[in-house]
Structure 1
Amino acid sequence: MSDQDISTGETGAAWVPEACTLPTAERPLRLAEFDRFFDEAVRAAERVSARHLRLRLDSAAQVEETARDLTARESSCCSFFTFDLSRSDPDSLTLDVRVPAAQVDVLDALADRAAAVRRRR
């Protein structure tokens, strides 16, 4: 894991856990994908509990496709993440992100990264 501070706007690798199996060379690209997703799709974030982050997303169909693709790929290399994408109605899209207790620091950093990217808008 990088010791860079995500709030500095550096690479943001601080939230990438040691347990991640994504090849190191591919991590900056994945981080950029998440940054773009946080910037373009996330409308609000709520910390439901220490182990649960809820992201309210733009409800466009392309956002849903992007979220499904990105979370599927992330789950394949960081299997401790649980992602649940749901619609309570046609105009509402929610992404719930959960982690086990041992990975709360990763969720903290992910939530901080999402907030930092959204603040830069």
Structure 2
Amino acid sequence: MEIPAASTPVVCDMATAPDTPQQRLDEYRHLFDRHLIDREKTGQGIRFRLRAEPGVAAWVRDLAAREKACCAFFAFDITVEGEQVLWDCAVSDNDTARAILEEYYLLPDTAPRSPGELEKRLAGKGLKPFCGAGVAEVNGWIGILPAHDRPTGRLGCGRPLHAGSGGDHRRWAH
């Protein structure tokens, strides 16, 4: 698994995603409710173990590809061993990225029901989604920073960016 460099921005851009943040959260809940066997922390990150029922490996590969497309700081490796699909996840060497990975690890138990709920969970960990002139206007990305590092003059996010702020409903902080 090729882990992104520590300098990789901890941002999410769902502008070209085929799904919305709400649909993505619903998909994770559905996948984990039906197929999760176990999860564990590994030397590089985390691993989800899922039942290798027909179509599950392809589903996980597709979901991981969509997640990687919007969150470049993640790395994924999906393999099949016997009756299990192993989904390994790692992030760049960055404190904020590791905090997001920890939230990802908890996803089977705590999958938020809405992007707004996800924002509250992240804020509870001291992470603040942000957007603004330095990010949204340049490339449409939303970033996540520790609350104490949040740049001044940036607009708080966690709700969709609206057309007037250079974005659309698919751009959310993870």
Q: TM-score, normalised by structure 2?
A: 0.51
2:92 maps to 1:100: yes
**Amino acid across the alignment from 1:75:** K
Give the corresponding residue for 1:87. Answer: 80
Q: Identify the match of residue 54 of structure 1 among 47, 58, 68.
A: 47
How far apart are residue 61 of structure 1 and its match?
2.7
**Structure 2 unpaired stretches of 5+:** 1-9, 112-174
Q: Does 1:68 align with 2:61?
A: yes
Which residue number corresponds to residue 36 of structure 1? 30
- TM-score, structure 1 normalization: 0.71
- Pick one of 92, 110, 116 that aligns with 2:110: 116
Q: Decide which structure has the larger Cα Rg and report it.
A: 2
> What amino acid is aligned across from residue 69 of structure 1 in structure 2?
D
Q: CA deviation at 1:28?
A: 1.3
| C-alpha distance in 2 between matches for 1:84 and 1:107 | 14
Structure 2: how far apart are the matches of 1:112 and 1:28?
18
Aligned counterparts of 2:72 and 2:54: Cα–Cα separation in 1: 26
Q: Percent identity?
A: 27
RMSD: 2.0
C-alpha distance after superposition, 1:26-71 (max 9, x if no partner): 211111111111211211000114x511111101131111101111
Divergent runs of 4+, >6 A: none
Shift of 1:92: 2.6
Amino acid at match of 1:81: F
Consecutive unaligned residues in structure 1, runs of 5 or more? 1-17
- SS where residue 60 of structure 1 aligns? coil
Q: CA deviation at 1:93?
A: 1.7
Q: Secondary structure at the match of 1:61?
A: coil
Count of paired positions: 98
CA distance in 2, matches of 1:38, 1:26: 18
Please, which of 1, 13, 22 is the counterpart of residue 14 of structure 2?
22
